[in-house]
Amino acid sequence: MAHVVSCPVAAYNNVTLVPRTSRARPPKTRIKERVSLEGRGKFSNRSMIKAVLSDVQQAQQLENGVASGRSSVPSGKSISTQESTRTSLHALITIRKKKRPDRNEQIVDQMDALADVLGQNVSLQLVSVEIDPVTKVGKRSKESFIKDWSLKALVVADKVQYTAEFEVEKDFGVPGAFIITNNHQNEFFLDTISLHGYESGAIHFPCSSWVHSVKDNPSSRVFFSNMVYLPSSTPAGLKDLREADMKSLRGDGRGMRKKWENVYDYDVYNDLGEGDKGPDLIRPILGKSTSHPYPRRCRTGRPPAKHDPSKESRVEGKQFPYVPRDECFEDVKQECYFNAAIRGLVHRSLPELRDHFFGSPEEFDSFEEIDQLYCEGVTLRKTGMVDTNDIIGMLATLPITSLLPDAIRAVVASVSSEEPNVLRYPKPQLLSRDKFAWLRDDEFGRQTLAGLNPCCIQLLKEFPPVSNLDPDIYGSPKSAIEEHHMADRLEGSSVSQALNDKRLFILDYHDAYLPYINRINSLDKRAGYASRTIFFLTEEGTLKPLVIELSLPPPNKSNRVFVPGDSATEHYLWKLAKAHVNCNDAGIHQLCSHWLRTHAATEPYVIATNRQLSVMHPVYRLLHPHFRYTLEINAGARQSLISAGGIIEKAFQPGPSAMEISSAYYASKWRFDREGLPEDLIDRGMAVEDQAAPHGLRLAIEDYPYAADGLLIWSALETWVGEYVSIYYKDPESIQTDKELQSWWEEIRYQGHADKKDEEWWPELKCEKDLKKILTIMMWISSGFHAAVNFGQFAYAGYMPNKPTHIRRLIPEPGTDEWNDFQKNPQQFMLSMLPGQLQSTILMAVIESLSTHSPDEEYIGQNVHPRWLGCPEAIKAFQRFQKTVAAIEQEIHRRNSNVELRNRNGAGILPYELLLPTSKPGITGRGIPNSISI
């Protein structure tokens, strides 16, 4: 828990002072002399600070009359015996300190503390909600300064409270904002300000923002109280500041953004390639193109690439792509992210280390060897052969040079310890429950409903399935699957009857992959198909896989059909076919369900919200918790995950075609109006409208854990949003005349998703119902949907055979040498088909990080947001939402205990916990954060 310090002078009685001469000089004179000596290097920085603090104490005591026996004047009281025309106000300013400032920042902080003594301070000015008749803007108080910054320069705490005093006229009115100027050399994080002295109580200003130094930008910052105002109801004294504050956040498409700036603007994905390093790393621009449409990202303004001025140069070395300053990770999140990076790099390096020291091959020799990564770890030490320094030296040759040597040494210290296997991976939940679950057909079907990617299964509406691709290019659109492939496994039904009874479902990745298969198969150690898989809904409510079709495009066009067989050969061929399907599922999951539909699609919402909605706007305050950290995590993904040669290209089947597949999915599938859970389920045939059913929907599969639990979360969000919107909007006119709101929605459509701006399906924003639906979709995607497709990654993909991310060999044809190899040793053939050691550990390291909850995570329905505190009605509505969320958690636990629900209960079956609202830090496979923060 953060430690807030409000520190009086007495708290410094134990400070060891620097010896001084006995000759008395005025405290302020001594302060100037010490600063002069500091400039000439006569004192250490810390000693100087201590000495100056003592002088500051004496100076303030003299000025307050303490030294001469006079009493100080209590805050908020008049010093005159007559009726005063002025009111004294007392401000408490809470500053959040950096946990680990670098050496330069520490030195500058100390110098800033000294500068404060000489009058170069942090200044504040109150702004009234009432107009000054002379200036025609909000009344301004006289400038005041934080008066105890120097006194608290040595305080060690997460948060420190400072004070400032104001005197305003009795008719000043209620302060609605304050203007702050940071004359320090360093920025600081302003958490909150509370203003005391009014009989009506304290006025609170939730800030949560970095305040830049005037040396970076001479402009001051403005912060508003926690009162909420629609544009039309903004107090006259705050209107100009409201407009100016929003204007300061809007980029104009020009200039290179600087680290300290809070500027939001749009750009296309023109920074994924690294063509300056070679033609193999050139990637197409995503966005501004009918061939590669995509959502917009946050603009950075970096210089153009040398090989192509239409593309942006990459960030090199230790630098990180620009994101607006207030979007950056806070200290706890940054530390968690950094530690995960260290662990990941060491884990990724294990095969190289083992190969370096012991000459191990890249291949896994057996499935038992894969299991040992979790159960036993990887032994890096052999007595008398390997020294810790040798390992550190080897690590230095790997791509981790930006890490601190001490951090590397700490991680690999276990090599010389009594326990040499500390570097093992945590055991995925699937492996903990049943290490053979991935082999079972029922588990294969169950995971389409309750696994890593539960949002792609759909009702089969016609048989045989038909492709929508151009037949002149890809041949006949008709599937090769025929009735006889599955007629004997339909529990007595015919195919037509099962189709009419809505008992046939399909996982269709044919059209998504087929245009890219030839490019994929031309890569080294990549071999894949487009796939279709048909399932049958059993009487027990589970999905039974019936048939798999694997297709190759021209010129080697083929459509191979696989079914579960009775013979050993058919049995193993079916396993190989399932591996290809799981590989395709892993790619669509990561590129489309996860990255595109949550991270990429949400980024324009974050940008537009900051550009077009004032922080005083009720919609801004509702959405703000749901956008925390999203821009920074997306910037990191562009830098190392989805970029040319990044983790996704290295570890996933599509390789360099990965983001093109994501773009194609956006072009053909993504629709804002179908991103809501009910609409998505109806569109896939997984539910139909039924007002007699819970939530107004009847599920096609009653035991569909993702849908059943998701509808609980969706319904709770919908109710909370509805109650919140109703507080501020009473009729359609109030929606239509809200200029900020209309500009916000227009910008999301026409700039944020510009490649889809002309689609007719965009919802209108004309009434309260429209706004409720739009907001609920955004909040669902950033919370419940992201949790469902993200935090199960280690549980299911952490064990590589269950969800291989790429395949290295096609299924052998009879009569070939590969067929003979397969016949002789089918298990070894499967191992040679699955990813090798290096690729497996690269992926496992990444998804371990992606599945980890940070200690500072903010979960849905847990905390009242400080920005809502100005509206009691909103707080009451949120408290009702909290109770609903708590009840949902109990209901999910009850469902997981129900033995009738076989997709979430049974021997070796993982309970469905991905939509449980709360979680502890770490890899838990549960918990719904408010925002897309990992």
Render pLDDT for 497-508 as a digit per residue (tens, 0 to 9). 999 999 999 999
Q: Which of 101-115, 147-161, 401-415, 881-895 has the highest mean pLDDT?
A: 881-895
Catalytic member of 204, 594, 626, 853 = 594
**197 vs 389: which has the higher pLDDT:** 197
Per-residue pLDDT, 866: 76
Per-residue pLDDT, 378: 47
Task: Supply the angle between the helices 601-612 and 239-249 in degrees, to the nearest 10.
Answer: 140
Nearest residue to 105 via CA among 181, 36, 185: 185
How far is 248 from 251, CA to CA, in rounded Å?
Answer: 8
Mean pLDDT, the chain, rounded, equals 85
pLDDT at 422 exceeding the cut of 80 = no
Average pLDDT rounded to a whole number, residues 232-247: 97
Half-sphere exposure of 918 (CA within 13 A, CB side): 12
Per-residue pLDDT tens over the stretch 261-318: 999 999 999 999 999 999 999 999 999 778 899 999 999 999 999 999 999 999 887 6
pLDDT at 176 exceeding the cut of 80 = yes
Average pLDDT rounded to a whole number, residues 360-365: 71
Average pLDDT rounded to a whole number, residues 3-13: 33
Catalytic member of 347, 599, 624, 626 = 599
Per-residue pLDDT tens over the stretch 759-817: 999 999 999 999 999 999 999 999 999 999 999 999 999 999 999 999 999 999 999 99
Instruction: Report residue 372's pLDDT band, with 50, 70 and 90 as the boundaries.
Output: confident
Half-sphere exposure of 576 (CA within 13 A, CB side): 30
Instruction: Report residue 344's pLDDT band, with 50, 70 and 90 as the boundaries.
Output: low
Q: To which H or E segment does residue 922 belong?
A: strand 922-923
CB atoms within 10 A of CB 489: 15
pLDDT at 416 exceeding the cut of 70 = no
Per-residue pLDDT, 414: 41
- 90-127 burial: b if 16+ Cβ within 10 Å, else e: bbbbbbbbbeeeeeeeeebbbbbbbbbbeeebbbbbbb
pLDDT at 168 exceeding the cut of 50 = yes
Per-residue pLDDT tens over the stretch 448-458: 999 999 999 99
**47 vs 218: which has the higher pLDDT:** 218
Per-residue pLDDT, 54: 54
pTM as predicted: 0.88
pLDDT at 620 exceeding the cut of 50 = yes
3 is catalytic: no
With contact defined as beta carbons under 8 Å apart, do 910 and 607 qualify? no
Burial of 567 (0-12, 13-18, 19+ CB in 10 A): exposed
- 568-605 burial: b if 16+ Cβ within 10 Å, else e: eeeebbbbbbbbbbbbbbbbbbbbbbbbbbbbbbbbbb
31 is catalytic: no
**29 vs 910: which has the higher pLDDT:** 910
**539 vs 845: which has the higher pLDDT:** 539
Per-residue pLDDT, 79: 35
Average pLDDT rounded to a whole number, residues 679-690: 98
pLDDT at 170 exceeding the cut of 50 = yes
pLDDT at 323 exceeding the cut of 90 = yes
Instruction: Report residue 156's pLDDT band, with 50, 70 and 90 as the boundaries.
Output: confident
Q: Residues of the chain with pLDDT > 90: what percent? A: 71
934 is catalytic: yes
Catalytic member of 356, 786, 806, 853 = 786
Per-residue pLDDT, 390: 44
Average pLDDT rounded to a whole number, residues 56-76: 41
How far is 805 from 809, CA to CA, in rounded Å?
Answer: 13
Half-sphere exposure of 221 (CA within 13 A, CB side): 26
Instruction: Report residue 624's pLDDT band, with 50, 70 and 90 as the boundaries.
Output: very high
DSSP symbol at 614: -
Nearest residue to 665 via CA among 608, 602, 603, 594: 594
pLDDT at 394 exceeding the cut of 70 = no
Per-residue pLDDT, 349: 54
Average pLDDT rounded to a whole number, residues 651-664: 97
pLDDT at 234 exceeding the cut of 50 = yes
With contact defined as beta carbons under 8 Å apart, do 292 and 284 qualify? yes
Average pLDDT rounded to a whole number, residues 191-215: 93
pLDDT at 929 exceeding the cut of 70 = yes
Per-residue pLDDT, 412: 46
Catalytic member of 790, 903, 905, 930 = 790
